[in-house]
Amino acid sequence: MRSDGTPAGSPDPATWTDFDTAAAALQMHPRRFAGLMFALGDGWVGVDLDDVRAAGGALLPWAAALLSALATYAEVSPSGTGVKLIGRGTWAGGWHKRPHPGGGEVEVYDAGRFFTVTGHPVGDWPVAEVGDKLVGALAAAAPPEPAASVAAAPPVPADDELIRQMATARNGEKFRKLWAGDTTGYPSASEAELALCCILAWWTDGRADRADALFRRSGLMPAKWGAGCSGRWRRSDRGVAGGVRGRFGRLIHRPLTQVAEQDQDVE
């Protein structure tokens, strides 16, 4: 509100005036103005407690405790069912509006907002520094975010059981031949080795160390080859960017699971 009683523009500080002048104008023209507004920012922080005050003035227990903890100016909200607190400081809680588990709702701002005020105090606290108290005092309104659940990888059976499952799967004949060291149908031993590695990778859920240990038990493991399955792909995070000269006749780089699924067919 301007000092001459004409409405102020909320985004334009040049049109604002002090509380006493605005309050006097409101009393003179009660039907002309909706109420008084207080701009937050420049070191002013506000806490708005909604639906915490009964008709007789009693506050929800957590709201009463918060007022005592912050010990700064507080007043009844225009609705009569809430309380607004104003203090000096900044808000570092990382959120602005939350329901409170004790009932009601909390809003906190230190910039970009206005508080509609009444001038009807709750308690007799003067404006105080609250910035170092706010986060702790409002911790109950901001429970920690639950940790994102990560689905556990399914357990991989023991080696002998896994070999049995691979041998009896729908493509079990292919596995049995490769496991026995039979490279029939492959242009080279290297391509047969890679085919077995892909099968092992699929069955071990992409666990390179486990696939490598199994490969070393196969008939394709050359005595001179010390790299095992790990030599058939380049590790990248969990996987593999396997440099595979595939059936498309060009060098392709794909995740291990994609390479493995191309060569794996199970029930």
Alpha carbons within 13 A on the beta-carbon side of 151: 2
> What one-character DSSP code corresponds to residue 257?
H
Q: Domain locations in the chain?
A: 35-141, 159-263
Q: Which residues of the chain form beta strands (DSSP E)?
A: 36-39, 44-50, 73-76, 83-88, 97-99, 105-109, 114-117, 234-236, 239-245, 251-254
pLDDT at 255: 40
Check residue 125 and give its pLDDT. Answer: 94
pLDDT of residue 44: 87
DSSP 216: T
Q: What is the pLDDT along the chain (267 residues), one digit of tens a residue?
A: 555 656 666 556 666 777 677 667 667 765 555 555 666 667 889 999 999 999 889 999 999 999 999 999 999 998 899 999 999 999 988 888 999 989 999 999 988 777 777 889 999 999 999 988 998 998 877 655 555 555 555 666 788 999 999 999 988 999 999 999 999 989 888 888 888 888 988 888 878 888 888 888 898 886 545 555 555 444 333 333 333 333 222 222 334 344 444 444 444
Write the DSSP assignment of 16-37 as a string of letters: ---HHHHHHHHHH-TTT---EE
Distance separating alpha carbons of residues 76 and 144, to the nearest angstrom:
30
Q: What is the pLDDT of residue 21?
A: 73
In 3-state terms, what secondary structure has residue 81? coil
